[in-house]
A and B are shown apart, each in its own frame.
Chain A
């Protein structure tokens, strides 16, 4: 049961061959069995899970029309507010906080009849690429428990890779869906910015944050994408247009006649040979499937990483100012004598982890008078240039491809106190965030060095989300034919 795809589970439930409660219980059992070693979940409340599942079964029994994912369990990243579960962003500063409202994504999961299993671990406030920056301990990669599951949506990727859930939500600010998907052998999609609502997503960097799906198949990702995306009047940056036809594209799964551009700047020094080998094979595969492959240069992409590490920290320094011990969350040092200012500073020093503090300090610096033009201002100009590189590339090709990450999953602890090394994990994923366009990561094999998963990144213009699903599904189909099944069957049993 737990190894079935979301699409299959939904079909079983819809036909009555399995009840939503049975499906939920199977996943709860799996969580109970393996999450002690994976640590994907921060919060699971069995009663609430089964209550949701019973509601779906009751609807079916009453003859109500169910959505295409009704009854399917899902792991929900702890960055989204949930009325019935705590929401912490893996931070001590929000320990035990119960939001009085649901995020739009949460509300849409509920409307679609998805059964929320619990909240998943993440890098604190989504800052990180390893899920080590969590106040509740690191999450472990199911492929190798000594390694990181990627981040910041590492709890979500680990949960799906460990069969604790068939689907998970994530958020992608600089690669936080695609990179964890890549290093755990999953499909992870960053929709077009504004294509999925940020209302109730606890902000890290507002102009970059994008909710998206993680799944074991391209079709499952597309089904989830469709379930929670679309215009939201509560989010001013939400696009008031229909969701691109992603499910149809995932079913179509062909690349015949498509022009595919290989980003010249992503590859070479600093890239793990096994990653490059799998990537090049995938490109050859695409060509053999009828795509026209060309090399495309995007000269400013090499400046994407520094620009991102100015823009994202700047926005985060402001977004995280609200965690001040006055209205919710942790309060430290209020002895009746200390001032509000002192209590704020003590609480924030204790409640935030090192990476969050680092980024708040960096962002405060980049925005402060005298430095704004040289740092934040310059980074915003680079952002323009990266957008222009994409525009120019898309006049020649329909999609761009690159490795999702330069390396496979690294050992837990290896880069924990080396921020610059950690930041490199997002090298290839950041440009799509800066330009706001659509990008997916699909598995393309295991690196020879460490037998760990490698991801292929496919990027497409704004609102051409369907295109990356179409290409991703074609790659998936061809590779599964070659492998004789999904990549994840290579993963060790937990």
Chain B
């Protein structure tokens, strides 16, 4: 690999306009594979989820999974696509050891969903990403490259193939070229991938885990001189497997291609691979010798002709989509886009919404999930949803605070107790004896003791330095093990010394 010259990002953008294109593969979370009854569990021991069909044994034939077709139609509808009235599967012919039949069942010139769009927002500006097509295909097996030093394909002695993944339904979503994103191109690419992931997750048709490969992006980038109307030659960075990498790969390609063009050379149309460690892309197969996939209609599968009734039934079954939901929630909870984004990123949107629906104030629900529980989840390295606390628990905690039974500080201890498996919030309050000291007589006695024990501070307050009361409040809280209402204690102290 030769070292490549790069042009600093801002400089590149001063001279060139990037055009993006993104192809996303999403594995559907069906129970069985696309064309056979094999299970689709991730991480199963090798070749334990195979049958004559997905192994491509002589004589075996595919039969289409209804749930997969419903899944892709839902994705198409959510992306504002038209669902075609009639289409066929096609065979894409090429030889590769991880592809059992040496052709992939895909769709060629007759995709199931066409002409849609997805709006994404970057720094307060909205970009419409046009969707060219959404089509159905099957995944391949996975090769383990043995020998050599890197575990990579180059230099390997041989490979070991596991066909568990072969035949898992794969939806491919192809955008039209995305122009006019300027220096926001990497962020638009990332925002698109993020929004698509949220959308598909909301539809419940895939777990869209990029780290497990159930969502993978191929990112096309080309540059044209600013003011030019002719698009440049594009590179295609394959199998980018995190949102951050989507952004970085676009950024790197802009810097790299700008250098190529600055040097008066032409960009090679090729497949590139993103290197996580360096944030760069490296050259893969050149597409100079065009592939000849010899597509033709798959004779083993009959055409699909989704009835309009079926499509409308599926449309009616769509859940509230992320963009609409975010708009609603922002209004209802009074949060900014940024705050909402943090909630989404923390995986707290559903939890907060359930908590609010169960009767908590939005602000309180957000505070407990985002400030307290999210921090604990991060500390434990688990998903927020994996914590042993329910929206109902959070509702109860916020209600106890609102009623004055506990204060925020005690509430944190209550949550700790719930997380530690000590029972419901009420049980934790009871067992740990966490109620606020609300008996005025008892509190007055404690205050008297504190004043007596801190004559200097008391004197300051008497002489008008009311701010010094904080020290005495702290002492009261300490004496009551946090169970006093700090506001009331402060009031009583000041009244006593200045009143």
Contact = CB atoms under 8 A, between A and B. Distances in A.
Q: Do A and B interact directly, with beta carbons closer than 8 Å?
A: yes
Interface of A: 80-81, 87, 89, 94, 97, 99-101, 103, 198-203, 205-207, 233-237, 314-315, 317-318, 321-324, 326-328, 336, 340-341, 344, 364, 367-369, 372, 376
Interface in B159-182: 159, 161
Main secondary structure, interface of B, reads: loop
Residue with the greatest number of chain B CB neighbours at <10 A, chosen from A89, A234, A236, A314:
A236
Interface string B88-130: 0001010101001111000000000000000000000000000
Residue with the greatest number of chain A CB neighbours at <10 A, chosen from B64, B95, B302:
B95
A336 B158 CA distance: 8
Contacts of B93: 317-318, 321, 367
Given A236-B64, A321-B103, A200 B157 contact: no
Interface stretch (B2-10, B55-63, B329-337, B454-462): B55-63
B102 A234 contact: no
A473 to B, nearest CB: 32
A442 B187 CA distance: 73
B292 A236 contact: no
A369 B95 CA distance: 17
Contacts of B159: 340
A128 B211 CA distance: 51
A376 B62 CA distance: 23
Nearest to A328: B57
B224 interface: no
Given A206-B299, A367-B296, A324 B95 contact: yes
B231 to A, nearest CB: 22
A440 to B, nearest CB: 24
B383 interface: no
Given A100-B52, A314-B296, A340-B159, A324 B58 contact: no
Given A237-B300, A340-B159, A367-B93, A198 B294 contact: no
B102 A322 contact: yes
Interface string B11-47: 0000000000000000000000000000000000000
Given A199-B59, A322-B58, A324-B97, 16 more contacts: A94-B58, A99-B59, A101-B57, A198-B61, A199-B60, A199-B61, A200-B60, A237-B299, A314-B296, A315-B296, A315-B299, A318-B103, A318-B294, A322-B101, A327-B55, A344-B95
A364 B294 contact: yes
A233 B63 contact: yes
Chain A to chain B: the 4 pairs with minimum beta-carbon distance, closest first: A321-B102, A206-B299, A367-B294, A207-B299
Contacts of B62: 236
A283 to B, nearest CB: 35
Given A101-B52, A237-B300, A321-B95, A202 B58 contact: yes
A367 B292 CA distance: 9
13 contacts: A81-B58, A89-B58, A99-B52, A101-B52, A201-B59, A202-B58, A233-B63, A236-B62, A314-B296, A321-B103, A336-B158, A341-B95, A368-B292
Contact of B61 (A87, A97, A235): A235
Given A206-B299, A369-B292, A234 B57 contact: no
Contacts of B59: 80-81, 99, 101, 103, 198-203
Contacts of B296: 314-315, 318, 367, 372, 376
B9 to A, nearest CB: 38
Given A206-B299, A369-B292, A234 B58 contact: no
Nearest to A199: B61
A203 B91 CA distance: 15
B455 to A, nearest CB: 89
Interface of B: 52, 55-64, 91, 93, 95, 97, 100-103, 157-159, 161, 290, 292, 294-296, 299-302
Nearest to A89: B58
Nearest to B59: A200
B161 A234 contact: no
A109 B57 CA distance: 21
A372 B292 CA distance: 11
Contacts of A323: 58
A78 to B, nearest CB: 11
A198 B302 CA distance: 14
A340 B301 contact: no
Contacts of B294: 317-318, 364, 367-369, 372
Nearest to B296: A367
Nearest to A91: B58
A80 B101 CA distance: 18
A370 to B, nearest CB: 9
B60 A236 contact: no
A199 B62 CA distance: 9
A30 to B, nearest CB: 29
A209 B294 CA distance: 21
A234 B57 CA distance: 14
B58 A87 contact: yes
A232 to B, nearest CB: 9
A4 to B, nearest CB: 32
A327 B56 contact: yes
A150 B352 CA distance: 75
B56 A322 contact: yes
A328 B58 CA distance: 10
A141 B60 CA distance: 32
Nearest to B103: A318
Given A237-B302, A367-B294, A318 B91 contact: yes
B63 to A, nearest CB: 5
Contacts of A100: 52, 57
Contacts of A207: 299
Contacts of A364: 294
Contacts of A317: 93, 294
Nearest to B93: A318
Nearest to B293: A369
Residue with the greatest number of chain A CB neighbours at <10 A, chosen from B58, B102, B294, B295:
B58
A236 B302 contact: yes
Contact of B97 (A205, A234, A326, A368): A326
Given A336-B157, A344-B95, A368-B294, A234 B299 contact: no
B351 to A, nearest CB: 43
Contacts of B56: 322, 327
Contact of B63 (A87, A202, A236, A326): A236
Contacts of B60: 101, 199-200
A315 to B, nearest CB: 6
B125 to A, nearest CB: 41
B136 to A, nearest CB: 14
Nearest to B89: A236
A237 to B, nearest CB: 6
Contacts of A203: 58-59, 300
A331 B479 CA distance: 84
B61 A234 contact: yes
A367 B299 CA distance: 14
